[in-house]
Homo-oligomer: A and B are copies of this chain.
Amino acid sequence: MPRRLTARGQRRQREILDFAARRFAAQGYHPTSVADLVDGLGVGKGVFYWYFDSKEELFRQILAEAQRDLRRAQRQAIADEPDPVRRIEQGIRASVAWLDANRHLSALLELARTEERFAPLVHQGEDQAAADALPHVKAGMAAGLIRRADPLVVAHGILGVTERLARKIVLEGGRPAEEAADGAVSFVLDGILSPAAANRRTVREAG
């Protein structure tokens, strides 16, 4: 399976990966047959099994690539930002942008979560994403910028808002990514209470 591939072979493999990612995203894992893939690419069935051990293995590979790529995008967006809150904000924006720019991969990540065989991989990826956000959350708390709470809960909350808004507003709603990103940032940082109500709540808690 770890084959030595010529340049031509590598191009073919990529072609299959990309085409399959789109098909899987559009139709689901099971409804997409290997025949669909090779017919769609106009090649013989053997080609598929020359490059991949199995349909499952192909999917796994697509999934891993997508997760790697999303993570890279997040890291790059944060790279040189000293302020932990701004790092979080930029992470949110980068995530929404990536989910928008790679709609089929967004769908794929969701898809994979519902398939017994792949679910653990997605869970790991999500937990990794939360773990990646964790240091920024903690740094923000240490600096007195972020309210003290279980930082892991906070991290998951951030991711939950971000992904839901990206999905509903951008992917399903067809509106620009900025709108979702702004909404998510604002929701995450401020919560939903008005300043007045928030103050009352804070006072009550502190009392």
Residues on A facing B (Cβ under 8 Å): 26-31, 85, 88, 107, 110-111, 113-116, 123, 126-127, 130, 137, 140-141, 144-150, 153-154, 156-165, 168-169, 172, 179-180, 183-184, 186-199, 201-202
Cβ–Cβ < 8 Å partners of A162 in chain B: 160
Contact between B137 and A192 (Cβ–Cβ < 8 Å)? Answer: yes
Contact between A157 and B202 (Cβ–Cβ < 8 Å)? Answer: no
Closest B residue to A183 by beta carbon equals B153
- Number of identical protomers: 4
CB distance from A165 to the nearest CB of B (A): 6
Other than the given A85-B197, A147-B191, 12 more pairs (CB < 8 A) read A28-B115, A107-B114, A110-B110, A127-B168, A137-B192, A144-B197, A149-B192, A156-B169, A157-B184, A161-B164, A189-B192, A195-B199
Interface of A is mostly: helix
Q: A168-B126, A183-B157 are in contact. Are A191 and B190 (CB under 8 A)?
A: yes
Cβ–Cβ < 8 Å partners of A145 in chain B: 193-194, 197
Contact between B183 and A192 (Cβ–Cβ < 8 Å)? Answer: no
CB distance from A114 to the nearest CB of B (A): 4
In the complex the two chains form, what is the Cα distance from A159 to B197 in whole Å?
Answer: 21
Cβ–Cβ < 8 Å partners of A116 in chain B: 26-28, 31
In the complex the two chains form, what is the Cα distance from A163 to B168 in whole Å?
Answer: 14
